[in-house]
Amino acid sequence: MVDFSGFLPVVGGAFVDWLRMFVAPLENLEMLWIIIPIWGVWVFSEFFQEKKGTSFGNAITNGATLVFVGIDWTRYVVRQMSAGSLSFGTESASKFAVAAAIIVFGLLIIIMGIKGRGLVRLLGRVRETTYVMLTFSPVVYGVIDFSLRNLAIILAFFPLFYILVEILDRVLPTPHMFELEEEEMLDKEIGSGKGAAGAGGAGLGGLGSDFGQDVFSQSSQFPQPPLQPMRQQQQWQQQQKGRKPF
């Protein structure tokens, strides 16, 4: 029988450290400047825009949010170095690397969204981008260290975060706005169908009338020459009578 006595404490400790990433703003209140907007954008986007999946436009917006957050992280690190609270070294370099990575990730999502790549519906969803910003913000603000262990914790517990959000998304009622949008789309489809049928009927009617008059009528198949005026016809008859036979 497999002994999990030594494995469970490791998983439990990693889980606690993972939860600590989400309560990190309590250890550094300056993080609230960036964390509160991240949480707010996630709540409204997750349940009022992307409850049934993300669109290319939403993905591009989420990528732009990543870029702006990465720029703000860079600003924070530069300000710390200018104030003398952070020296240039491994720690500052790792923070710059994290900020640069999230900026590149955001630009990649924007480019993929503009090109219409289907993968962006997964990578650019707000729950994924929010998870990246929430878990790496404590690294930039110095609450947790940027280490392989913490990086492994972030990656390992991402499925748990995704599942929990999915369950919450399914439990909460669907906003009424989605039903209204679906009704509007259905009305547009029905209206366009009727318009196409009407246009088709009008086209057939016009086609039938043209063919009926121009193709199948005898007058159009065998056109008659215009009738000469009566006076011209009489003059022509008199001229014919006055001509001498050969």
- DSSP result, the chain: ----TTHHHHHHHHHHHHHHHHSGGGT-GGGHHHHHHHHHHHHHHHHHTSTT---HHHHHHHHHHHHHHHHHHHHHHHHHHHHTSS-TTHHHHHHHHHHHHHHHHHHHHHHHHHHT-TTHHHHT-HHHHHHHHHHHHHHHTTSS---HHHHHHHHHTHHHHHHHHHHHHHHSPPPHHHHHHHHHHHHHHHHHHHHHHHHHHHHHHHHHHHHHHHTSSHHHHSPPPPPPPHHHHHHHHHHHHHSPP-
- pLDDT attached to residue 208: 45
- pLDDT attached to residue 132: 93
- pLDDT attached to residue 71: 94
- pLDDT attached to residue 9: 72
- pLDDT attached to residue 246: 43
- pLDDT attached to residue 216: 44
- pLDDT attached to residue 210: 46
- pLDDT attached to residue 138: 92
- pLDDT attached to residue 47: 81
- pLDDT attached to residue 220: 45
- pLDDT attached to residue 10: 74
Taking only the tens of pLDDT, the chain with its 246 residues reads 445 556 567 787 888 889 988 988 888 888 888 899 899 888 888 887 777 778 888 899 999 999 999 999 999 999 988 888 878 888 889 999 999 999 999 999 999 999 988 888 888 888 999 999 999 999 999 888 888 999 999 999 999 999 998 898 888 877 666 666 666 666 676 776 665 555 555 544 444 444 444 444 444 444 555 555 555 666 656 665 555 554
Report pTM. Answer: 0.68
- pLDDT attached to residue 91: 86
